[in-house]
Chains A and B, each alone.
Chain A
Amino acid sequence: MNWMLYVNAFWVGGLICMLSQLLFDTTTLNMGQILTGLTVLGGILGGFGLYDPLIEFAGGGAAMPIISFGNSLAKGAITEAERTGIIGILTGMFELTSTGITSAIVFGFLAAVIFKPKG
């Protein structure tokens, strides 16, 4: 067990959340807009191959925040394009993010069927 990874996960993940919170509190941007921006940032960082080293360093601290979603989309597209040519951008787009999207849809649907909002 690599305990240092846990320390890094805590402070890197915490820092990303803290900076997002400061952005929320000091601008009129709403959280949806901030999350959208973070995803775009993740896509760009992924394009330059800069986000994977952070995941290497901080584990869940970099893999859990939404930036990782943008990074994974870009990486999926890039990797598949390298394998199968330009069409790979379309076929590989959701290669790595399928887990998140699929589970969110399934859990969301099931929750909607079973539960009622509490208000």
Chain B
Amino acid sequence: MGKKAGKQTFEISNPPTIISTGTVAGPFEGQGPLASDLDVIVSDIRDGQTTYEQGERSMLTKACRLALDHASHSISEVDLFLAGDLLNQIISSSFTAATLGLPYLGLYGACSAMAEGLGLGAMILDGGFVGSVLVATSSHNSATERQYRYPTEYGGQRRPYQQWTVTGAGAALLGYTGSGPRITAVTVGKVIDMGCKDPLNMGAAMAPAAADTIAAYFSDTKSDPSSLDLIFTGDLGEVGLNLCREELAEAGIELGDKLHDCGLMIYDRTKQDVHAGGSGCAASALVFLGHVYKGLQKKEMNRVLLIGTGSLHSPTSYMQGENIPCIAHAVRIERG
């Protein structure tokens, strides 16, 4: 059985394999530098549906089916579906769960959903409760814009530190077959509130949570950065990544060029007008399940840490002047 290391970390004693992944990206993400690592690039932001919301769930369902197809698994072989997204009441995940007809646990960790799902899935598998878990998440630029901010056709200038919500979906099938990358440790984050109120600057709000979880991982596992090849934060963007580096440096942790941010990797900021970088559940899902997963398979890296970062505010909470509570979960993945 899994064992607890330190206060927040769980070492997975029987590490499950990420058997396969499925990634679906929007057309704008398809123009980014990692497009060749993604399975499907849809040509229409509604993916042929009527609303953005339906488009998002269509992409999420496609990602799930792709992950299953890649492993030649049928839906009936999946024991549990874990999913989360950004839309109110995680509606995209729930509708997708209805379509798939699987036992389902909905997750809300905002943009940390992929890391949260991978971690939780590994723990449930390690606990021996099930034999296979499908983990998925999605986000949609237009659907989140209209829910959290402005109508999509509203002509507002964006702040330079703002991020661009990634449109796309990713799914991963976890189990004990195959020789893919394995999830070997999970660090569950604490909610961190450093007094940020500006919902347009989520990178800055989330950076301390990411730094806190990274520091907890190293102290719980009694290891240092040399034990990892690469470290990926979810969607801190440029501002958040700089702040995270500074927070870590103050804690005596120097990550140098091992530290990358999925939100910065998915777009080419010299050509794509996304200001401080990408954000949203799909940022880490696409970069990790597409690009990093392939890197692990190709043996370009051996041991990586993914830190999913989530800004947990609601449209009501920030309108009422509350601070933005943030969380970050880490999962360690090792080449199979």
Tell me if chain B binds chain A.
yes
Q: For the complex, is A83 an interface residue (Cβ under 8 Å from B)?
A: no
A28 near B153 with CB under 8 A, answer no
A24 and B157 in contact (CB under 8 A), knowing A117-B142, A119-B52, A119-B142? yes
Interface residues of B in 144-161 (CB under 8 A from A): 151-153, 156-157
Interface residues of B in 139-196 (CB under 8 A from A): 141-142, 151-153, 156-157
B157 near A31 with CB under 8 A, answer yes
Interface residues of A in 8-43 (CB under 8 A from B): 24, 28, 30-31
Interface residues of A in 56-107 (CB under 8 A from B): none
Separation in Å of the A42 CB from the closest CB of chain B?
21
Q: For the complex, is B224 an interface residue (Cβ under 8 Å from A)?
A: no
Separation in Å of the B323 CB from the closest CB of chain A?
15
Give A119 to B52 CA distance when docked, in angstroms: 8
Interface residues of B in 39-54 (CB under 8 A from A): 45-46, 52
Q: For the complex, is B273 an interface residue (Cβ under 8 Å from A)?
A: no
Cβ contacts under 8 Å, A117 to chain B? 142, 151-153
A119 near B156 with CB under 8 A, answer no
Give A61 to B130 CA distance when docked, in angstroms: 70
Cβ contacts under 8 Å, A118 to chain B? 152-153
- Of the listed residues A30, A31, A119, the one surrounded by the most CB atoms of chain B closer than 10 A to its CB is A119
Q: For the complex, is B77 an interface residue (Cβ under 8 Å from A)?
A: no
B198 near A31 with CB under 8 A, answer no
Give A24 to B141 CA distance when docked, in angstroms: 24
Separation in Å of the A108 CB from the closest CB of chain B?
11
Give A44 to B100 CA distance when docked, in angstroms: 60
Cβ contacts under 8 Å, B198 to chain A? 28
Cβ contacts under 8 Å, B52 to chain A? 119
Separation in Å of the A23 CB from the closest CB of chain B?
12
Give A24 to B159 CA distance when docked, in angstroms: 10
Give A119 to B44 CA distance when docked, in angstroms: 10
Cβ contacts under 8 Å, A24 to chain B? 157
The listed residue (B141, B151, B156) touching A31 by CB distance below 8 A is B156
Give A31 to B156 CA distance when docked, in angstroms: 7
A119 near B157 with CB under 8 A, answer no
Cβ contacts under 8 Å, B157 to chain A? 24, 31
Give A117 to B45 CA distance when docked, in angstroms: 11
Give A117 to B141 CA distance when docked, in angstroms: 13
Give A1 to B172 CA distance when docked, in angstroms: 70
Considering only CB atoms, which chain B residue lies closest to A119 in the complex?
Answer: B142
A119 near B141 with CB under 8 A, answer yes
Cβ contacts under 8 Å, A30 to chain B? 156
Interface residues of B in 66-88 (CB under 8 A from A): none
Cβ contacts under 8 Å, A28 to chain B? 198
Cβ contacts under 8 Å, B141 to chain A? 119
Considering only CB atoms, which chain A residue lies closest to B45 in the complex?
Answer: A119
- Of the listed residues B45, B46, B153, B198, the one surrounded by the most CB atoms of chain A closer than 10 A to its CB is B153
Cβ contacts under 8 Å, B142 to chain A? 117, 119
Give A38 to B45 CA distance when docked, in angstroms: 36
Give A118 to B157 CA distance when docked, in angstroms: 17
Interface mask (A108-119 → B, CB under 8 Å = 1, otherwise 0): 000000000111
Separation in Å of the A29 CB from the closest CB of chain B?
12
Interface mask (B24-56 → A, CB under 8 Å = 1, otherwise 0): 000000000000000000000110000010000
Considering only CB atoms, which chain A residue lies closest to B26 in the complex?
Answer: A119
A-B contact sample (14 more), CB < 8 A, given A117-B152, A118-B153, A119-B52:
A24-B157, A28-B198, A30-B156, A31-B156, A31-B157, A117-B142, A117-B151, A117-B153, A118-B152, A119-B45, A119-B46, A119-B141, A119-B142, A119-B152
Q: Mind listing 17 A-B residue pairs with CB under 8 Å?
A: A24-B157, A28-B198, A30-B156, A31-B156, A31-B157, A117-B142, A117-B151, A117-B152, A117-B153, A118-B152, A118-B153, A119-B45, A119-B46, A119-B52, A119-B141, A119-B142, A119-B152
A interface residues (Cβ-Cβ under 8 A, vs B)? 24, 28, 30-31, 117-119
Which 5 pairs between the two chains have the least Cβ-Cβ distance? A119-B142, A119-B45, A117-B152, A119-B152, A117-B153
